[in-house]
Amino acid sequence: MATVEDFTSQYGLVRKIDAFGYLDYLKNNPDAPRKHGKVVLVTADTPLKASRGEGKTTTTIALIDALRKRGIDATAVLRQPSMGITAAGSKGGASGGGKASLTHPELIDWGLCGEMGAIEAAQNLLVSFAEKAIDDGKLDTVLVPRVSEVPSRSLRSVAVDYGKGDVPEKMVLTPTCELMQIVVLSRSMDEIGERVSAMIAGTLDGKPVTFGEFIDLWRITNILADAVKPALTETSKGTPVYVHGGPFANVSIGIPTLVSVELACALHDVVVVEAGYGADAGAQKWLDIASREYGAQWPSAALVVTRATTWRDDPARQWRYPFHVNRLEKLGIPTFPLVNLWDGEDDQIPALRETAAELGFREPIIGNLFRDGGDGLTGQIDDFVTALEAVGVPSNPESRKGEDIVDTVRWIAANAYGVPAERVVFKPGFEESLNAARELVAGVGRDLNDFAVCAVKSPATMTDDDAAAAEERTVTLKKVEVRAGSGIAQVNLTKSLTTPMPKIV
Amino acid sequence: MATVEDFTSQYGLVRKIDAFGYLDYLKNNPDAPRKHGKVVLVTADTPLKASRGEGKTTTTIALIDALRKRGIDATAVLRQPSMGITAAGSKGGASGGGKASLTHPELIDWGLCGEMGAIEAAQNLLVSFAEKAIDDGKLDTVLVPRVSEVPSRSLRSVAVDYGKGDVPEKMVLTPTCELMQIVVLSRSMDEIGERVSAMIAGTLDGKPVTFGEFIDLWRITNILADAVKPALTETSKGTPVYVHGGPFANVSIGIPTLVSVELACALHDVVVVEAGYGADAGAQKWLDIASREYGAQWPSAALVVTRATTWRDDPARQWRYPFHVNRLEKLGIPTFPLVNLWDGEDDQIPALRETAAELGFREPIIGNLFRDGGDGLTGQIDDFVTALEAVGVPSNPESRKGEDIVDTVRWIAANAYGVPAERVVFKPGFEESLNAARELVAGVGRDLNDFAVCAVKSPATMTDDDAAAAEERTVTLKKVEVRAGSGIAQVNLTKSLTTPMPKIV
């Protein structure tokens, strides 16, 4: 009888697990010992500014440390931070902080075991193969963007073969690319191969051509051999933490890999999955893409993190936090408000509890988790544990596959952003973009209505103007871009700008 | 008392060694047990076509397996192949083959532990910081190229900020960049930091500005934390092999990292260093850059690999192989010809031995090393072992620091390419390029004559026309580019084109 140890290797200070192999082993050995962990989402309020976190990772780490102290076998699955963004100084890292820390945050923040670099190389190699296909007369346009892990504003718009072909291109951040989505959503290397095959490389005489028609797939899968293995590290208190898959739920799916969560569920009883930025981005994508369309487990409970200031200091946007909490409750997910205090805010606790009571919330969990870590939570999670123990592993909701894709966007706007269908409006050019997308996927024998919708928007807004009165809020649809390999239709929406390749600050 | 084990960690199927830490430990503990291994260069004939190897890696692996079978503690230090080039199918990998193989060639060929990806991210981050410096008014031009591990011809010439700034840039292959040179030449993370600091980021009002003037160095060194550790793997026979540092001795230095060789010398008696492409590229750079200017050990012996066909099938270029062998002998390095046979060539052995004798060579070593591995060498290396045992660890030759840099180029042409000073000619524009380089480094208080010369040329030629008669061969100097961090003056020479960003084939 094998154990997960047989699928685990040391990689410096972390361990990596052949999740594909282990999950396959469990499938073929139904009597092998395994757990059936429940998924808990840690998500957040919509941040007031795009790059500021409310403390989701800090909360996640404090929570699993607190659960473990109570004897519950808990773990967390985190996304690998974008090293480029951290290194550029645009963000402080994404590995918790203070007493809610990982043992080796520097590893997680600074490139882990080269996973992102491998995905970057593989996606860029696809572009090189597409260029070669142009030379060979198999393509005349390339539709796959190059990627860079390091942000650089001037790469948003580039011309390659400058001075001769002057071919306009754009470059996007590695974590947001289609190949990252494929790695996040696939359950085997064969599935990765099939999905890469199905990616639309470009067009020839206006007709789409997939990579499967001209590349050696093994060249891509060889590059990804180690990148598909989740990393295992631990908190400073010794609680195991898995790290795998790319961030940025604003412009991509931004969730951990499905296999890392499934691996964790086979090994632990409670699996905390970080889903950010806000609930409108990360949680929406976990629920409506991962669970609904790709078979990921529906959460058994959720925590929605906010800061005292985010919740209350912008009256026009105060509606967002209760909206998120209530939306998740309405989906049948026991949802706990969590206020992550900063230094000097302890005296606000009574007022925060009062506000939560007025809003009809469950009793909020409040603590300075940077300062106190899991100890700040231990006395406050009885209700959470009770709620979690009460539910069975939930079944997944119905897929929307086959529904008209614009109806799906309207349905997301109504449910996740609070904007009814009649106030979802089309920007000039949207319909052309939609029709072009429909035609492109029809050209490879597929139907756009079978694609999952991934909203592409600013992390700081859900509607065209979150500060507008409720009955005036709108959602503008701007553009559709298809990713036939990951099966995702990227729909740009709201009037805010997205930044798939930010300036460094 | 510590051992190297204390500085070694498992990384999947290979191990990585904190060479900086271990060498520092040995320096501070002069009584700690250590070896004083001798360096043997395995270099080659100039290949007839740029991308075809003569079998240097195969020879290196066969040689150390054969030495180990005789009870000699031998190892090899290989360069990490360019994954991009391998993955693109432009080259078959660089990890030996047949019976002269590594246990896990796929790891070496396909990205190892992310070293190249980390160097790529760090060099690209430098460019992003330079862009930010432009926004901050600290620079008005950027002189550092972006890099890509994956080849793409159309990246040779790009415009960034296209449609607005239209800033022309070029991208080069990651292994050829200045940061790779810095990693190859540095002996501590502090030295890497100092060298990155000294890199010229660009200019402001025509005056050069170094990165040290505006960046947080720790952001770069954090990215490189694991990339600076040599990897340890082994041959299929169990002989240890270190892998570290980038290839491409045609357009860069293309040698393994100095610390990987020094680490190997502290742990083994014979350290075989692969120095290719031909002796005019890899060996010239080991001798004249690494040994002469950066304190690397002068080789105690050399093998010059050729194939029967390369040696004899192009009469006009037949002069090159004996030229290489004789040049190394003249430098006092016992030099052994080695002919790597391919299938069906065994019957040529007597004729090859005859030719070697006519040329006054040492008795050549001849074998089909792909087919036979180290067993093909065991009976033929007595003279080699005797010669190696006879010499003490050689002292290093004098530096050329301070000599006029054009004289140094002429000296290289005379010694390494067989073209006397009077036939080293300047292409129009060369002198302007040279003067601009002199002025640029003077602007940061340095003298170009203190830089080491790195010849940038085709791997397949040493002169403007290798097929010309000896007395008509010339070397044209085209351009000088300075790399103030690595301390290298890149001098483009000969009329052949170089391909710092090849097309994929």
Residue to mutate among A15, A120, A141, A152, with most B CBs inside 10 A, is A152
Residue A222, token pair as written in the block = 């060889």
Residue A490, token pair as written in the block = 């990227």
Interface contact A157-B162, CB threshold 8 A: yes
Which distant-in-sequence residues (6+ apart) come within 8 Å of B31 by Cβ? none
Residue A400, token pair as written in the block = 């929307």
The half-sphere exposure of B350 on its side-chain side, counting CA atoms within 13 A, is 1
Equal fold, B4-114+227-390 vs B405-493:
no
DSSP summary character for residue B79: P
Q: With bands split at pLDDT 50, 70 and 90, how would you rate the model's confidence at B448?
A: very high
Nearest Cα to A235, choosing from A227, A243, A245?
Answer: A243
Element (H, E) at A340: strand A335-340
Q: How far is B159 from chain A (nearest CA, A)?
A: 5
Cα angle at B498 between B288 and B243, to 5 degrees? 55
DSSP summary character for residue A102: B
Q: How far is B128 from chain A (nearest CA, A)?
A: 5
Interface contact A13-B9, CB threshold 8 A: yes
Q: How far is A92 from chain B (nearest CA, A)?
A: 12
- The answer to whether residue A110 neighbours chain B at the CB level (below 8 Å) is yes
Span B140-150, average pLDDT: 93
Of all residues in chain B, the percent with pLDDT exceeding 70 is 98
Largest pairwise CA distance in chain B: 70
Rounded to whole angstroms, what are the CA distances from B4 to B29, B73, B190? 13, 16, 21
Nearest Cα to B502, choosing from B153, B250, B164?
Answer: B153
Chain A CB contacts of B504 below 8 Å: 128-129, 131-132
Interface contact B157-A163, CB threshold 8 A: yes
Chain A CB contacts of B10 below 8 Å: 9-12
- The answer to whether residue A136 neighbours chain B at the CB level (below 8 Å) is no
- The closest CB to that of A160, out of B114, B128, B158, belongs to B158
Residue A246 contacts residue A254 (beta carbons within 8 Å): yes
- Phi and psi for B255 in degrees, rounded to 5? -120, 160
Residue B131, token pair as written in the block = 């862009």
How does DSSP assign B90-128, residue by residue? SS--SSEETTEEBS-HHHHHTTTTSHHHHHHHHHHHHHH
Residues 203-242 of A with CB under 8 A from B: 216, 219, 222-223, 225-226
Break chain A into its structural domains and give their ranges. 4-114+227-390, 115-223, 405-493
Chain A CB contacts of B13 below 8 Å: 9
Q: Among all chains, which residue has been given the structure tokens 């739920």?
A: A249
Residue A169, token pair as written in the block = 């291109």
DSSP summary character for residue A302: E
Q: Which fold has domain B4-114+227-390?
A: Rossmann fold (3.40.50)
- The answer to whether residue A111 neighbours chain B at the CB level (below 8 Å) is yes
Return left, alpha or beta for B166; rule: phi > 0 is left, psi -120 to 50 is alpha, else beta.
Answer: left
Give the C-alpha separation, B47 to B94, whole Å. 15
Q: What is the pLDDT of residue B52?
A: 60
Residue B142 contacts residue B127 (beta carbons within 8 Å): yes
Element (H, E) at B160: strand B158-160
Residue A16, token pair as written in the block = 């990596």
Q: With bands split at pLDDT 50, 70 and 90, how would you rate the model's confidence at B51?
A: very low
Q: Among all chains, which residue has been given the structure tokens 């997944």?
A: A396
Q: How far is A402 from chain B (nearest CA, A)?
A: 38
Tens-digit pLDDT string for chain A (505 aa): 899 999 999 999 999 999 999 999 999 999 999 999 999 999 999 988 754 667 889 999 999 999 999 999 999 999 998 887 777 776 656 677 889 999 988 777 888 899 999 999 999 999 999 999 999 999 999 999 999 999 888 888 899 888 888 888 889 999 999 999 999 999 999 999 999 999 999 999 999 999 999 999 999 999 999 999 999 999 999 999 999 998 888 889 999 999 999 999 999 999 999 998 899 999 999 999 999 999 999 999 999 999 988 888 889 999 999 999 999 999 999 999 999 999 999 999 999 999 999 999 999 999 999 999 999 999 999 999 999 999 887 888 999 999 999 999 999 999 999 999 999 999 999 999 999 999 999 999 999 999 999 999 998 999 999 999 999 999 999 999 999 999 999 999 999 887 767 777 6
Residue B338 contacts residue B304 (beta carbons within 8 Å): yes
Looking at domain A405-493, what is its CATH homologous superfamily?
Answer: Formyltetrahydrofolate synthetase, domain 3 (3.10.410.10)
- For the four alpha carbons of B176, B177, B181 and B186, in that order, the dihedral sign comes to negative
Burial of B441 (0-12, 13-18, 19+ CB in 10 A): buried
Displacement of CA B250 from its chain's centroid (Å): 8
Q: What is the pLDDT of residue A51?
A: 45
Residue B204, token pair as written in the block = 């402001």
Residues 306-335 of A with CB under 8 A from B: none
Interface contact A129-B504, CB threshold 8 A: yes
Give the C-alpha separation, B61 to B82, whole Å. 19
Element (H, E) at A425: strand A424-426
Give the C-alpha separation, B141 to B433, whole Å. 17
pLDDT digits (tens, 9 = 90+) for B307-363: 988 888 889 999 999 999 999 999 999 999 999 999 999 999 999 999 999 999 999
Q: Is A300 in a helix, a strand, or coil? A: coil
- The closest CB to that of B11, out of A12, A88, A127, belongs to A12
Nearest Cα to A152, choosing from B126, B368, B414?
Answer: B126
How does DSSP assign A161-211, residue by residue? STTTT-EEE-EEEGGGSHHHHHHHH-SSHHHHHHHHHHSEEEEETTEEEEG
- The answer to whether residue A175 neighbours chain B at the CB level (below 8 Å) is no
Rounded to whole angstroms, what are the CA distances from A350 to A307, A339, A356, B297, B402? 15, 12, 10, 71, 74
- Phi and psi for A340 in degrees, rounded to 5? -95, 105
Residue B481 contacts residue B437 (beta carbons within 8 Å): yes
Q: Is B39 in a helix, a strand, or coil? A: strand
Looking at domain B115-223, what is its CATH homologous superfamily?
Answer: Domain 2, N(10)-formyltetrahydrofolate synthetase (3.30.1510.10)
Residue B345 contacts residue B95 (beta carbons within 8 Å): no
> Number of helices and strands (H, E) in chain A?
18, 23
Chain B CB contacts of A152 below 8 Å: 124, 127-128, 131, 160
Rounded to whole angstroms, what are the CA distances from B393 to A80, A290, B38, B82? 48, 63, 6, 32
Residue A276, token pair as written in the block = 């950010």
Span B286-304, average pLDDT: 97
What crossing angle do the helices spanning B258-267 and B19-28 adopt, rounded to 10°?
Answer: 60
Give the C-alpha separation, A48 to A317, whole Å. 9
